[in-house]
Amino acid sequence: MLYRNGRPFVVKGASGYTHLEVLRQMGGNTIRTWDTLNLAAILNEAQRNNLAVIVGLPMPGSSYLSYFYKDTAKVNAQYRALQQVVEQYKHHPALLMWCLGNELEFKASPAQRPFYKAFNNLLDMIHAADPDHPVTTTMTNFSVIQAMLMQWQLHHLDLISINAFGELQVLDSKLQHYARWWSGPFLVTEWGAYGPWEVQQTAWDAPIENTSTKKAEHYQQLYRQLPLKNPRCLGALVFYWGQKQETTPTWFSLFDEQGRRTEAVNVIQQLWTGQPAMGSAPAVRYMLLNKKGAADNIILTPRSLQTAELLMESPPRDSLVFQWQVMQEDWFSELGQNPRLLLDTVITGNTACLFRTPAKEGPYRIYVKVSDGHGQIATANTPFYIVK
């Protein structure tokens, strides 16, 4: 059982640190950060909204063994920096717990001793400096090996935290089946739309993104898979409460850059409060490019006119605004991490868009954002490839 201010506390919130007033209004009680950037402002804003904060203390993963953990100067500098953070904020009333690292990948190898030594030194430091707040770290999904290593190699980790997306459907059964390897408390620190690694891909390995309407359905379905009835579960945080670029600008984003809400936010509000949201976001079925879907592996020629079409769930209202964009995907890093907006390709667009394909060979995506003028949006995109 987790306690806050002397009372039992169940985490119900979001991973992210913006739109905190909206989160409070929707019945949320907790946010999570991944680093300490602007931490004072985040903690203060959370306190104003009566929200608790799981503060992320960043550290490199175990794969940085040679570059970081065998360098004593770097490890010592990290220790001093995080010690200063803990000392500075351990009495802040919004602080709920510390999360040491994110998806660090604990490995069973004697070569990992420098990593485990650094982690345990930090863990011991936090417990000594701040015995009033628990310390956790995260793993991807639930891994029996990771859980075993956390018990064997770490100095009294208070709870484990799990980031799960499509695998959420089997999380509770795995936690119960392998309870002998982790019988302590746990927290779901990220859950949300299916990840790019879990969906169908094009022939050039571009993940196919669902529309915002389909994602809203998935949030509703996956919420029911959360292990909230498990007595060891301390709660869950939906991902991602804000806007972020990860594969695309819209994949995990529950809001856009202007703070407008997607349909999934309304779903989350109803799941948390039992009350429907005021108003409904625009709803889209799918996008077609030359009458083809993304799974058709759309190959186009450069500098040619093409037509994209958006099919809505209901006839579009006159108040809806359609914004079409073409972006070039970053071919040389994780696909889509740094897309480049092309400003001279879209000619005209409403529910249908006429655009000219780029001249350069490579992977692209055409996006549409539908705004209702009342702070709610719908999104869709389709990848295509230019071949000369």
pLDDT at 214 over 80: yes
Cβ partners under 8 Å of residue 259, min gap 6: 18, 19, 375
Q: Which of 308, 276, 315 is nearest to 291 (CA)?
A: 308
Task: Spell out the domain ranges in the chain.
Answer: 3-273, 284-386
Q: Between residues 343 and 198, which one has the greater pLDDT?
A: 198
* pLDDT at residue 221 is higher than 70: yes
Cα angle vertex 152, ends 66, 8, to 5°?
110
Q: Which residues pair with 328 in a beta bridge?
A: 340, 364
Place domain 3-273 in its CATH homologous superfamily.
Glycosidases (3.20.20.80)
> Is residue 359 helix, strand or coil?
coil
Q: CATH topology of 3-273 equal to that of 284-386?
A: no
Q: What is the pLDDT of residue 276?
A: 84
8 A C-beta contact, residue 253 and residue 272: no
For residues 191-201, average pLDDT = 95
Closest CA to 33 of 13, 63, 8: 13
Cα-to-chain-centroid distance, residue 14: 9
Would you say 303 and 359 are in contact if contact means Cβ atoms under 8 Å apart?
yes
The DSSP line for 137-189 is EEEES--HHHHHHHHHHSS---EEEEE-STTHHHHHHHHHHTTTT--S-EEEE
Among the listed residues 326, 348, 351, 330, the one whose alpha carbon sits nearest the alpha carbon of residue 339:
330
Bridge partners of residue 98, in order along the sequence: 55, 135
Report whether pLDDT(88) > 90.
yes
- Reported as a pLDDT band with limits 50, 70 and 90, residue 116 is very high
Return the DSSP state at 65. I
**129: number of Cβ within 10 Å:** 13
- The Cα–Cα gap between 370 and 324 comes to 9
Question: What digits encode the pLDDT tens for the residues 32-65?
Answer: 999 999 999 999 999 999 999 999 999 999 999 9
345 close to 354: Cβ distance less than 8 angstroms: no
CATH homologous superfamily for 284-386?
Immunoglobulins (2.60.40.10)
pLDDT number for residue 336: 61
Check whether 333 has a pLDDT greater than 90: no
Nearest-angstrom CA–CA distance, 191 and 222: 8
Q: What is the pLDDT of residues 349-378, one digit of tens each?
A: 799 999 999 999 999 999 999 999 899 999
> Cis omega before residue 3 (within 30°)?
no
**d(C-alpha 85, C-alpha 78), whole Å:** 11
- Mean pLDDT, the chain, whole residue set: 94
Burial bucket for residue 216 (CB in 10 Å: 0-12, 13-18, 19+): buried
**Residue 1 CB: number of other CB atoms within 10 A?**
9
Contact (CB, 8 A) for 102 and 59: no
Strand spans (E) along 33-169: 52-57, 95-100, 135-140, 159-163
Instruction: Dig out the tokens for 24 from the structure.
Output: 């409070």
> What is the mean pLDDT of the segment spanning 66-95?
97
The string of pLDDT tens digits covering residues 267-305 is 999 999 998 887 789 999 999 999 999 999 999 999 999
CA 352-353-355 angle, to 5 degrees, is 160
Determine how β-strand 186-191 pairs with β-strand 233-239.
parallel
Please check whether residue 171 is in contact with residue 162, taking contact to mean a CB–CB distance below 8 angstroms.
yes
Query: By the 8 A CB rule, do 365 and 206 touch?
Result: yes
Q: What pLDDT band is residue 318 in, cutting at 50, 70 and 90?
A: confident
pTM score > 0.75 for this model? yes
When pLDDT is averaged across residues 143-168 and rounded to a whole number, the result is: 94
d(CA 31, CA 35): 13
